[in-house]
Amino acid sequence: MENIEKHRFVRIGIVQSVSSCDIDKNIAVAEKQIRQAAQQGVQIVCLQELFCSLYFCDTENHSHFQLSETVPGPTTARMKALSAELDVVIIASLFEERAPGLYHNTTVVIDADGSYLGMYRKNHIPDDPGFYEKFYFTPGDTGYQVFKTKYANIGTLICWDQWYPEAARITALMGAEILFYPTAIGWDISETSETVNREQYDSWQTIQRSHAIANGVHVVAVNRTGIEGGTRFWGGSFVANPFGTLLYQAPHDLPETKVIEIDVELNRQYRQIWPFLRDRRIDTYQPILNRFIE
């Protein structure tokens, strides 16, 4: 593993933030952090899930639909202009109004020249205390997506998608070299057990590091931080290499703008030494299409 003859370095930017009820302020903060990352030479930068607002899904409230926007729309346009100015790929998670009464949790990808490459609509929609997303979002219908950016082929999945190996596998098989997960997840503020809180965070990180290992790709998870309602978002954004090794982990309780250089050529190296894709028995996997096997 030490004698790698080829390299293809890409500088990845994590933007972990504390959100407020002021949408304009949140977008301005995101733009400021992207500029800070650009000063560090970032090439692909990822924002946290639903970065424009507070995480409104903690309650079922019809007034929150006013936070939605068309995609592409005004925030996409702002990100396009910023991307073209800075020569940076931007991954931005938005609350999409597709039509009145039809909404999605959607990520857009803007290439480094400011061109709009497309969107991915979140497939897996949770419904748990503090995370009432089924009230707001229709499950995605874009299929899994890979975007050929100036710097790398990237896949964008969203938060709850990160618990599903199938989503990571399909996106990797489509040619993604890096999997990005814009995220909003945290601890219940009433939970006082540090053991429980640590177990939850470790599980979240472990499942995503396993996607890196199983698929031989880099994984980038970008979470929010700060207390909103009954949730203390646990931050801890991270980058893992294609064998699940942590290259960086952000703090739990502070905003963070961090640029991490990765070598995308490592994907090839690890896949050659650990040929999981070669040994897949796709002829035996039909049962996975069942909801449950009786």
**Known catalytic residues?**
49, 122, 159
Task: Specify the residue for token string 């098989």.
Answer: 173
Distance CA 124, CA 139 (A): 6
Q: Which residues of 191-225 are buried (b: 16+ CB within 10 A; e: fewer)?
A: eeeeeebeebbeebbeebbebbbbbbbbbbbbbbb
Say how far apart CA 129 and CA 58 lie, in whole Å: 7
**117 and 147 in contact (C-beta within 8 Å)?**
yes
Backbone torsions φ then ψ of 191, nearest 5 degrees:
-80, 115
Identify whether the C-beta of residue 225 lies closer than 8 Å to the C-beta of residue 16.
Answer: yes
| Phi and psi torsions of 18, nearest 5° | -100, 125
